[in-house]
Chains A and B, each alone.
Chain A
Amino acid sequence: DSGVTQTPKHLITATGQRVTLRCSPRSGDLSVYWYQQSLDQGLQFLIQYYNGEERAKGNILERFSAQQFPDLHSELNLSSLELGDSALYFCASSGDREHYNEQFFGPGTRLTVL
C-alpha cells in the first residue's frame, strides 16, 4: 500500500459527459501528479500540483483540468469525453524529506467511455 488513495476505482460513462477523479496523497506529501495510461500512448504525465499551485504541465488536453485543495487532495476533471479518453488514470505524490525524489502511485481509476 503506497498510502495514495484514488476514487473511484472504476468509472463507466458516455461520450460527451464530464467526470471527476479524486486523489488523496500520502500524509505529508505536497506534490500531486496525474498520469494517464492507455494502450496507444503508454504512461503519460498530465499535470503536477505543489501545495495548491500548478507546477508543471505535460500532455494534458484542454478538455482536462485539475486542482489541488487546501487539504492537499486533488481532483482531475475530464469533460466532453471521447472514446479515446478510456484509460487508467494514476495519481502519484511525493515531497516528504526522506523520499523527495520518489513518486508514490495510487491504485488508479479505470475510466471507460462508451
Chain B
Amino acid sequence: AQSVTQLGSHVSVSEGALVLLRCNYSSSVPPYLFWYVQYPNQGLQLLLKYTTGATLVKGINGFEAEFKKSETSFHLTKPSAHMSDAAEYFCAVRPWGGGADGLTFGKGTHLIIQP
C-alpha cells in the first residue's frame, strides 16, 4: 500500500520568493514519484518525475525536486516564484517496476503568489 502526504493545503509566497511545496510518501516498495500541476479548469500537467538515477530532478518552468529516501520525501522547489505559478500542485507515487496500477495522489497544495 502507498500513500502521499502534502503538508499545507495552501501555501502563499511573494513574487520572486522561494517556493517550497512538501511531499512525503509511504510505500512498501521503491516508488516512482511525480509532481503534477493543475491550472483552473484544466487537466494535470507533469512537472517532473523521479524514477531511478539522480535524486535531484529538474522539471519544467524552473521547478526541481529532490528524492530523499531516508526522509521518504520528494519536496518541490523553485528559486523565484512567478505570478504564473499560481495553481494547484499534486504529488503522486506509483510502485517501482511494472506497468500496472494508477497513481496515488496527495490532496494537493494550492500555491498563491502575492504581488
Contacts and interface: CB of A to CB of B under 8 A. Distances in A.
A35 B42 contact: no
B83 interface: no
Interface in B31-71: 32, 36, 42-46, 49, 51
Given A45-B102, A50-B99, A106-B43, 13 more contacts: A33-B102, A35-B103, A42-B108, A43-B90, A43-B108, A45-B104, A50-B100, A55-B99, A56-B101, A90-B43, A101-B94, A102-B49, A105-B45
Interface residues of B, number: 21
Contact of B107 (A42, A50, A103): A42
A68 interface: no
Contacts, number: 59
Interface of B: 32, 36, 42-46, 49, 51, 90, 94, 99-108
A7 B42 CA distance: 14
A101 B49 contact: yes
B51 A101 contact: yes
A55 B101 CA distance: 7
A25 B90 CA distance: 22
Give the interface SS of chain A, mostly helix, strand, loop or mixed: strand
Nearest to A43: B105
A31 interface: yes
A45 B105 CA distance: 9
16 contacts: A2-B43, A2-B45, A31-B99, A42-B108, A45-B101, A45-B104, A46-B102, A47-B102, A48-B101, A48-B102, A56-B102, A90-B44, A92-B44, A101-B94, A102-B46, A108-B43
